[in-house]
């Protein structure tokens, strides 16, 4: 290369770049400012998202069939939205820019997206598109003109540049439009000179300059021109000043804010197209550009409604101009906020985002673009650098014509993107936002400042921007670096000593990297980003950075070192806040005081949560391998000396050791078990803690303690503390999975993760519990108990026979012959061999868990299955609280859990027959009048005997009362058999006793029920009721002998049917309605000559009159049972005439 281009002699000034990097940054773009059109094109760069915008716009232009031809592009301030909108206007070749056609051609030649757009414009069905652009934020907030009026005004401005229209005041635009549309009069009016002796003399522009004369001048001038015209219509419409004034007033009213709607706008657009077609003989369409739509809408729902109504009305009216909207955030999101979930196919959802990732591309292509003659010099300098300052991908693209490495220099290829991300984070204060704040302009400002304010325009080729200087740039040029960061950097500089310069630089880089999501603050990255030239001594720099990090992390605690996680194996560094530094000092003090017992407790809690471990020494039953309900006990030795072996006979005993010296513990445990004691521990699980684990855990517990004691947020520190806790738990879990397991003899049997369960199931359990019983299929006690009972009660041949609810292997183990549905052999046979008459629940538990248990190692589930099977097969009785449990679901509850089983007494004999028990209980309740009964047959018999001794006289009294009653010889009221049982016991006759067989006799049961029903009427509380019944029966017998009710009375009276209190009451109520209305003559005679009736009939008639429908009183109803009421209602309904409407009221 020439001397001029050698590295070290070429400056980073305007000679290196295509444009001077210190040049003045353009003002914020205005959509209608087209004076610098060529510069607008020069400063433009077509990014991928811009290409998508142009492609989407191109799809709208040639096809007028779209209902709404609308496109929306959004990005934040400074992103180039307005710039792009202006260029779209240039591309039509109809803009107001100087040399519009040439600018349009330049755009099409230079950018592929605009070339395609130009093609689409030429393929359109109209000859030309005229751009009409406006910024909606320019609208006067005080007067709030509607959007249609704003668009009309913008259209008027565009037409005014061609035809001289004025838009201030707005009625003038409307008036001029009407003149031109109908008579092409405005151009003549513009040049017309009014001859007058008063103030209106002169041309229009003179009157317009004075404003107050516009209306008067037009009134005279239009009338004069009209009268000079040969057009009769013009003379008719505007031939007098009065008619002109009326036309002006009409124009003023038409553009009133309340009158001018989107429909009016559509009509004006249609007029404009017609006017342009007539004037230029070219078909025309419009492209409306609405800048800053989102900010215009803001948080006002009415503005969005107005905007949406305008767009949709233009489509409804058929004018369908192309409309491009821009805004700082999505229009679909605005729709969701104000209306609801957007339709993805709706016009407002047709939007493209100018992405923030385009920002660094714009900066590279515009501000850092290298001059053609020096591109090669930069390329060669980068290629010659032996330092690892570029990634392999970045280095491999240096040779390309569009190399990102060359374009980005003096930055690294990814620096600009990461600067944008850091700046975005700073501006949003780390909060997640829906907007990208940092777009092209914001980053351009910083890059330009690097050259103008930080001296980089004087640096030589080979210099590289270190991130410590990027921090300085952001600190000086933006207000976003927090004050606490500056304070902390000053503290570092003041306390670190000789290494302070590098420590401050390292802290600056770490701070920025902590603001970037995709780049970890690792040693490698910090070194790479601090490299300041292409030929720097990177190895020496690395040593300096390592020393600075050691001071910042370990000595001064200004930086936190954290695990790298998934992206890197290196530690990741984070700069602490000033408060966090103070907090870190407290944490170190607290960590020094953490007791070893706290570490044991924390580790123990994690270990006990592992499957198959559990609480210290607690016996539990688990599925281990293929074995169900294996009894386990776990004992722990954590960070301490090994204890004496636990004497365990009822479970597999597991010793879990967590320590940093596994070999020593294994040898000690093996030595303790050399005697082969059967009740000792069965295996050892030895987990070795990784190096440094205790220190990390101690610091973690200290951190949690300090954070819990403070009310301040420390969100990041709390999050990192939670993450460290998770990592510690996860690491300890991995340690346990890798733990070695050892047999008593000290032989290693594999790892916990893959050998623990297999070793217990296949070796320990068969050896320690050779007689244990277990089910292959889980028992669902509450659901299976009824099925077991149904199984033993049903016949094998029956189609509805209940299937055996457990597995065939379980049936064989329990001793169930599933074909014959009976108990035969198996565990049941062992059970009856082991116990005789009865056995207590405690003894059953001892049999499966006791040191000498016959079935030691058997799970509770298997014992539950045995008890339920034998009970449902009626081979045993399950008794609890002195009562036999007969119902299957109650049996299931009784055997649920160890405590319930211990409370049982199991009798090895069949239970009493349910029907026999029911008969005994019926007799007991009938005699004693008690609701509850004993559950055992012997207890019932004993209770009845006692009742006979104490109350047997009631039977005798009842028998005597029956003899004195109206009951006949064929009376059903007969208790002779019951009396023969009770009377001897009552009289204490020798050998007098009552047996179960006596009391379950059908006749005795029936007589006891008769005694229960009839006794209240004869010798109880209902004797008066019975007497009223007898009296009424006599009356009915006399007066209504053949009536059905009379017959019922006589059956009870004679005892042909045993009476009851409810039946007596029911018949008495029914008898109230019997009188002359019955329909038969008293005594069966003729009623024609006797109108008085009997006294009973009179009473009945009076009662009927006073109580319509003969409803019983509420007091009477309260005395009735539910059955009485129902029977009474049914009988009364029978007597009602056909077609009677009955109203039932529920009280």
Across the chain, which has 1147 residues, the per-10-residue mean pLDDT values are: 50 82 67 66 79 87 76 77 83 75 84 87 87 77 75 90 85 89 81 78 81 84 85 84 91 90 93 89 91 88 92 90 90 92 92 72 80 86 79 67 82 88 79 50 82 88 92 89 87 76 92 90 93 90 92 79 76 84 83 92 92 90 93 93 86 93 88 71 93 90 91 79 92 94 90 94 94 95 94 79 93 94 94 93 95 94 96 93 89 95 93 84 92 84 93 91 83 90 92 89 92 91 92 92 92 90 93 60 39 41 39 45 56 56 52
CB 666 within 8 A of CB 547: no
**317 and 256 in a common domain:** no
What is the structure's pLDDT at 1104? Answer: 40
Range of the domain at 1116: 1021-1079+1096-1147
**678 and 821 in a common domain:** no
Question: Considering the domain boundaries, does residue 230 fall inside one?
Answer: yes
CA distance 47 to 56: 14
DSSP 818: T
Give backbone dihedrals phi and psi of 1108, rounded to 5 degrees, phi first.
Answer: -55, 135
Question: Considering the domain boundaries, does residue 85 fall inside one?
Answer: yes
Q: How is residue 1120 written in tokens?
A: 């009735």
Question: Considering the domain boundaries, does residue 548 fall inside one?
Answer: no
CA distance 934 to 138: 96
What is the structure's pLDDT at 499? Answer: 63
**763 and 664 in a common domain:** yes
CB 1040 within 8 A of CB 1080: yes
* Strand ranges, E, within 244-384: 284-291, 322-327, 351-353
CA distance 313 to 316: 5
- 859-892: b or e for each residue (b if 16 or more CB lie within 10 Å)? bbbbbbbbbbbbbbbbbbbbbbeeebbbebeebb
* Strand ranges, E, within 292-418: 322-327, 351-353
CB 949 within 8 A of CB 988: yes
**744 and 622 in a common domain:** yes
Question: Considering the domain boundaries, does residue 507 fall inside one?
Answer: no
CB 821 within 8 A of CB 935: no
Question: Considering the domain boundaries, does residue 64 fall inside one?
Answer: yes
> Which of 325, 353, 381 is where one domain is finished?
353
DSSP string, 931-966: S---SSHHHHHHHHHHHHHHHTHHHHHHHHHHHTSS
CA distance 430 to 814: 68
**168 and 110 in a common domain:** no
CA distance 132 to 793: 93
**1037 and 1145 in a common domain:** yes
What is the structure's pLDDT at 913? Answer: 79
How many distinct structural domains can be found in the chain? 6
Angle between helices 467-477 and 523-530 (to 10 degrees): 70
CA distance 624 to 632: 10
Least Cα distance to 633 among 814, 768, 508 occurs for 768
CA distance 5 to 12: 11
- Work out the number of other CB atoms within 10 angstroms of the CB of residue 307: 20
**938 and 980 in a common domain:** yes
Reduced to 3 states (helix: H, G, I; strand: E, B; else coil), residue 615 is coil
CA distance 293 to 313: 18
Q: Which runs of consecutive H residues, i.e. helices, occur in 964-1086?
A: 976-986, 996-999, 1002-1018, 1023-1039, 1044-1054, 1061-1071
Name residue, tokens 């909606």. 136
Question: Considering the domain boundaries, does residue 545 fall inside one?
Answer: no
- Work out the number of other CB atoms within 10 angstroms of the CB of residue 533: 18
What is the structure's pLDDT at 642? Answer: 87
H or E segment and range at residue 839? strand 838-840
Question: Considering the domain boundaries, does residue 926 fall inside one?
Answer: yes
> Which of 911, 936, 960 is where one domain is finished?
911
**763 and 650 in a common domain:** yes
Q: How many alpha carbons fall within 13 Å on the CB side of residue 822?
A: 2
CA distance 547 to 831: 78
Least Cα distance to 470 among 514, 392, 411, 516 occurs for 411
**996 and 1126 in a common domain:** no
**745 and 634 in a common domain:** yes
Least Cα distance to 367 among 9, 28, 6, 42 occurs for 42
CB 443 within 8 A of CB 423: yes
DSSP 761: I
Q: How many alpha carbons fall within 13 Å on the CB side of residue 297?
A: 25
**761 and 655 in a common domain:** yes
H or E segment and range at residue 883? strand 883-885
Question: Considering the domain boundaries, does residue 923 fall inside one?
Answer: yes
CA distance 520 to 523: 9
What lies within 8 Å, CB to CB, of 522 at 6+ separation is 564, 568, 570, 571, 572, 573
> Which of 353, 377, 402 is where one domain is finished?
353
- 455-488: b or e for each residue (b if 16 or more CB lie within 10 Å)? ebbebebbbbbbbbbbbbbbeebeebbeeebeeb
CB 785 within 8 A of CB 890: no
DSSP 13: S
**964 and 906 in a common domain:** no
pTM (two decimals): 0.47
């Amino acid at each position: 290369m020439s001397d001029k281009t050698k590295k070290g002699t070429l400056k980073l000034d305007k000679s290196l770049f295509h444009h001077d990097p210190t040049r003045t940054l353009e003002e914020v773009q205005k959509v209608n400012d087209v004076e610098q059109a060529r510069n607008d094109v020069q400063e433009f760069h077509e990014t991928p998202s811009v290409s998508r915008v142009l492609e989407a716009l191109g799809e709208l232009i040639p096809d007028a069939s779209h209902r709404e031809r609308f496109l929306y592009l959004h990005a934040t301030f400074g992103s180039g939205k307005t710039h792009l909108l202006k260029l779209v206007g240039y591309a039509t070749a109809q803009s107001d820019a100087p040399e519009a056609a040439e600018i349009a051609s330049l755009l099409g030649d230079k950018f592929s997206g605009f070339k395609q757009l130009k093609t689409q414009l030429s393929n359109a069905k109209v000859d030309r598109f005229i751009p009409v652009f406006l910024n909606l934020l320019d609208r006067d907030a005080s007067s709030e003109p509607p959007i249609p009026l704003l668009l009309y005004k913008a259209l008027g401005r565009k037409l005014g540049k061609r035809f001289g229209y004025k838009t201030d005041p707005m009625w003038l635009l409307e008036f001029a439009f009407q003149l031109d549309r109908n008579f092409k009069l405005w151009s003549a009016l513009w040049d017309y000179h009014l001859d007058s002796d008063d103030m209106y003399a002169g041309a229009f522009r003179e009157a317009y300059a004075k404003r107050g004369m516009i209306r008067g001048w037009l009134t005279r001038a239009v009338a004069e021109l009209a009268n000079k015209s040969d057009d009769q219509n013009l003379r008719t419409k505007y031939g007098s000043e009065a008619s002109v004034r009326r036309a002006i007033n009409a124009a003023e009213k038409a553009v009133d804010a309340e009158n001018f709607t989107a429909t009016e706008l559509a009509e004006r657009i249609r007029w404009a197209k017609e006017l342009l077609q007539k004037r230029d003989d070219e078909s025309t369409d419009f492209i409306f550009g609405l800048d800053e739509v989102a900010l215009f809408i803001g948080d006002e729902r009415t503005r969005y409604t107005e905007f949406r109504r305008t767009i949709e009305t233009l489509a409804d009216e058929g004018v369908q101009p192309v409309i491009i909207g821009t805004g700082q955030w999505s229009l679909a999101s605005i729709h969701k906020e104000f209306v609801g979930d957007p339709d993805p196919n709706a016009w407002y959802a047709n939007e493209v985002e100018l992405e923030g990732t385009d920002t660094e591309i714009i900066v590279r292509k515009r501000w850092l673009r290298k001059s053609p003659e020096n591109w090669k010099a930069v390329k060669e300098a980068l290629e010659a650098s032996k330092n690892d300052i570029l990634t392999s991908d970045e280095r491999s693209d240096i040779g390309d014509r569009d190399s990102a490495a060359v374009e980005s220099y003096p930055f690294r290829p990814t620096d600009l993107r990461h600067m944008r991300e850091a700046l975005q984070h700073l501006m949003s204060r780390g909060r997640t936002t829906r907007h990208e704040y940092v777009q092209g302009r914001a980053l351009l400002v910083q890059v330009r400042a690097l050259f103008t304010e930080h001296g980089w325009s004087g640096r030589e080729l080979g210099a590289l921007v270190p991130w410590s200087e990027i921090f300085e740039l952001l600190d000086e040029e933006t207000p976003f670096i927090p004050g606490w960061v500056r304070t902390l950097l000053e503290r570092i500089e003041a306390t670190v000593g000789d290494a302070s310069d590098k420590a401050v630089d390292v802290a600056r880089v770490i701070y920025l990297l902590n603001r970037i999501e995709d780049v970890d603050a690792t040693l490698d990255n910090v070194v790479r980003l601090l490299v300041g030239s292409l030929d720097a001594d990177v190895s020496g720099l690395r040593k300096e950075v390592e020393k600075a990090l050691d001071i910042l992390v370990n000595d001064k605690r200004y930086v936190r070192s954290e695990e790298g996680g998934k992206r890197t194996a290196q530690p990741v560094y984070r700069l602490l806040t000033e408060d966090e530094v103070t907090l870190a000092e407290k944490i170190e003090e607290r960590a020094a005081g953490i007791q070893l017992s706290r570490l044991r407790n924390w580790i123990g809690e994690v270990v006990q949560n592992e499957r198959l471990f559990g609480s210290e020494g607690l016996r539990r039953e688990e599925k281990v391998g293929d074995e169900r309900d294996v009894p386990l006990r776990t004992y722990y030795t954590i960070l301490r000396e090994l204890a004496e072996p636990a004497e365990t006979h009822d479970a597999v005993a597991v010793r879990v050791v967590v320590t940093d010296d596994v070999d020593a513990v294994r040898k000690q445990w093996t030595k303790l078990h050399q005697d082969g004691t059967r009740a000792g521990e069965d295996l050892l699980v030895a987990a070795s803690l990784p190096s440094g684990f205790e220190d990390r855990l101690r610091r973690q517990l200290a951190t949690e303690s300090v954070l819990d004691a403070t009310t301040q947020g420390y969100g990041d520190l709390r999050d990192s503390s939670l993450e460290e806790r998770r990592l510690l738990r996860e690491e300890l879990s991995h340690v346990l999975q890798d733990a070695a397991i050892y047999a008593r003899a000290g032989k290693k049997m594999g790892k916990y993760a893959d050998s623990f369960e297999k070793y217990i199931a296949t070796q320990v359990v068969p050896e320690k519990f050779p007689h244990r019983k277990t089910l292959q299929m889980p028992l669902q006690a509450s659901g299976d108990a009824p099925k077991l009972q149904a199984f033993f009660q049903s016949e094998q041949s029956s189609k509805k026979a209940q299937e055996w609810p457990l597995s065939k292997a379980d049936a064989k183990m329990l001793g169930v012959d599933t074909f014959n549905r009976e108990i035969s052999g198996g565990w049941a046979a062992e059970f009856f061999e082991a116990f005789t008459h009865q056995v207590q629940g405690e003894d059953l538990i001892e049999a499966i868990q006791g040191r000498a248990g016959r079935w030691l190692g058997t799970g509770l589930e298997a014992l539950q299955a045995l008890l339920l099977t034998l009970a449902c097969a009626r081979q045993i009785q399950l008794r609890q609280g002195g009562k036999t449990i007969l119902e299957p679901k109650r049996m299931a509850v009784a055997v649920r859990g160890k405590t319930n089983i211990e409370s049982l007494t199991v009798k090895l004999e069949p239970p009493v027959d349910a029907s026999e028990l029911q008969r005994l209980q019926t007799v007991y309740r009938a005699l004693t009048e008690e609701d509850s009964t004993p559950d055992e047959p012997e207890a019932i018999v004993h209770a009845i005997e006692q009742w006979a001794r104490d109350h047997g006289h009631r039977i005798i009294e009842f028998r005597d009362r029956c003899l004195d009653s109206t009951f006949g010889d064929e009376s059903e009221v007969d208790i002779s058999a019951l009396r023969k049982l009770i009377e001897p016991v009552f009289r204490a006759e020798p050998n007098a006793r009552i047996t179960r067989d006596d009391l379950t006799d059908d006749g005795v049961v029936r007589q006891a029920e008769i005694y229960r029903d009839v006794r209240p009427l004869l010798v109880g509380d209902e004797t008066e009721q019975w007497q009223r019944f007898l009296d009424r029966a006599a009356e009915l017998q006399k007066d209504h002998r053949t009536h059905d009710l009379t017959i019922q009375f006589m059956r009870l009276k004679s005892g042909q049917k045993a009476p009851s209190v409810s039946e007596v009451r029911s018949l008495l109520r029914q008898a109230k309605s019997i009188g002359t209305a019955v329909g038969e003559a008293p005594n069966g005679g003729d009623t024609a000559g006797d109108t008085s009736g009997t006294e009973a009939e009179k009473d009945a008639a009076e009662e009927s009159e006073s109580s319509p429908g003969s409803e019983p009183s509420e007091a009477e109803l309260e005395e009735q049972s539910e059955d009485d009421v129902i029977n009474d209602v049914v009988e009364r309904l029978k007597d009602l005439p056909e077609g009677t409407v009955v109203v039932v009221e529920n009280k």
